[in-house]
Structure 1
């Protein structure tokens, strides 16, 4: 099975922590040159130093804040003017704040739409010319099982994840003929800072110890535990590989079986 990414360049968003960081490391292990994208330069430098370089890769980082949508296009275009070849794009943005959908204000939806859909659109438009030229491209969107099965208490997130799914499927249909695949990876309950914050919110709302909140979640996961970022990153890396050339337009939960739909 060909998993070799030697000579390929990957842009990995939200790559200073959690699944994004794990994905960047996994792609580097397969030989890719990795450019980290995030807003905290200090953390970017720390992760940059951790990336494997067994195949003499040249890793880089780009400081970019997806909350400032109007700055995304000029920053990515300046980067591509220096380093134009990109073969892999991993779209990954922190999830919107939790809460019931009925309580969300319109601005929350607009902000989340901009940070997830609009930013993904800008980045994809920017890198696809290089992918078309190479005849090889991988666009991976790290979203949530909320795309398939809405999660209670994450109303805005569920809404935006559904929009991302439709966007990605449309992109897959349009770009497949160029050797570019577009797929979604749907994390479930994963041991990240995001899950910790959501569990703390649930504990506060229900007046329960956080350990009890965690066990209530785990009881609905067939494998009996939370997923690790590294396990999710392994799926992302496979989808980026030459071996996954015919996997296009799909949404793959990595949730230990939590999602009840087929």
Structure 2
């Protein structure tokens, strides 16, 4: 299938590793002009080099902290200049710290809001003029399966990512007139550094080994294993593509069947 991404301008945030990097790789495979952004410039350059080696496509890098509005404006402008406008935005950010309700004061809640929800709001707001100028676009927010089924010990993420999902659904209606399709992709247990950290924390809290924790978690997944980053990236690339012409306002769970909610 031709995803209609050749020559399209794509910005993926938090893309120096993990889900963001995997998504950027798939867009580059399809011939898109990809810009990747994250806080760590060295990791960002390393990721760009790996993507370029794998795909033969030049990748633009821009250092960005998603909690800084001026960084977001610079990143979007850089992507637009590198790609002759902006066609696709993938909003992504690292997760807030784990813990329960009693663990967090206002500062932590505000930090989670700025990291995961306000960053998406700002990225989308800054990108819209470029997409409207081109007569349409695609926006994909990366959230979590917690938008359907809260994850124990991740109350900050559960709450804030639900807000991102609500934003996505609302914008799918508001932006339909502009031919901008907006969806969210929600990862389950995908084998990334973030999930490895969560497994380690759970192992320490329970007195079990990391291997035991992974075995228990895999047992809750009908497919019996953690997902691969590239499996997730392919889902993002399709929803963010121009082969997708009629799917908007949806939440796609990439979780191996883990979440039981209807």
Question: Any conservation in 2 of the 1:76–1:126 contact (CA below 8 Å)?
Answer: no
What are the Cα deviations for residues 129-166 of structure 1, in whole angstroms up to 9, with x where unaligned?
12112223111111100111000111111001111111
TM-score, normalised with respect to structure 2: 0.94
Structure 1: distance between partners of 2:252 and 2:181: 14
The aligned residue for residue 242 of structure 1 is: 242
Structure 2: distance between partners of 1:233 and 1:81: 22
Structure 2: state its 5+ residue gaps.
none
Q: Any runs of at least 4 consecutive aligned residues in structure 1 with deviations exceeding 3 A, and if so which?
A: 52-58, 80-84
Question: Any conservation in 1 of the 2:184–2:250 contact (CA below 8 Å)?
Answer: yes
Structure 2: distance between partners of 1:163 and 1:210: 31
What are the Cα deviations for residues 153-200 of structure 1, in whole angstroms up to 9, with x where unaligned?
111110011111111111111111211111000000110010111111
Relative to structure 1, is the Cα distance of residues 17 and 107 closer, same or farther in structure 2, using a 3 angstrom cutoff?
A: same
Of 224-233 and 96-105, deviating more is 96-105
Structure 2: distance between partners of 1:153 and 1:234: 29
Q: Count residues with an aligned counterpart.
A: 261
Shift of 1:85: 0.3
Shift of 1:44: 1.3
Structure 2: distance between partners of 1:216 and 1:36: 34
Structure 2: distance between partners of 1:79 and 1:250: 29
Question: Any conservation in 1 of the 2:76–2:123 contact (CA below 8 Å)?
Answer: no
Question: Any conservation in 2 of the 1:76–1:123 contact (CA below 8 Å)?
Answer: no
Question: Any conservation in 1 of the 2:203–2:209 contact (CA below 8 Å)?
Answer: yes
The aligned residue for residue 225 of structure 2 is: 225
The aligned residue for residue 190 of structure 1 is: 190
SS of residue paired to 1:234: helix
Structure 2: distance between partners of 1:55 and 1:110: 39
The aligned residue for residue 59 of structure 1 is: 59
The aligned residue for residue 146 of structure 1 is: 146
The aligned residue for residue 76 of structure 1 is: 75
The aligned residue for residue 46 of structure 1 is: 46
Structure 2: distance between partners of 1:62 and 1:124: 17
What are the Cα deviations for residues 113-142 of structure 1, in whole angstroms up to 9, with x where unaligned?
111111111111111112112223111111
C-alpha RMSD of matched pairs (Å): 1.8
Structure 1: distance between partners of 2:207 and 2:142: 31
Relative to structure 1, is the Cα distance of residues 28 and 230 closer, same or farther in structure 2, using a 3 angstrom cutoff?
A: same
Of 4-13 and 97-106, deviating more is 97-106
The aligned residue for residue 90 of structure 2 is: 90
Structure 2: distance between partners of 1:35 and 1:80: 5
Structure 2: distance between partners of 1:80 and 1:257: 35
TM-score, normalised with respect to structure 1: 0.94
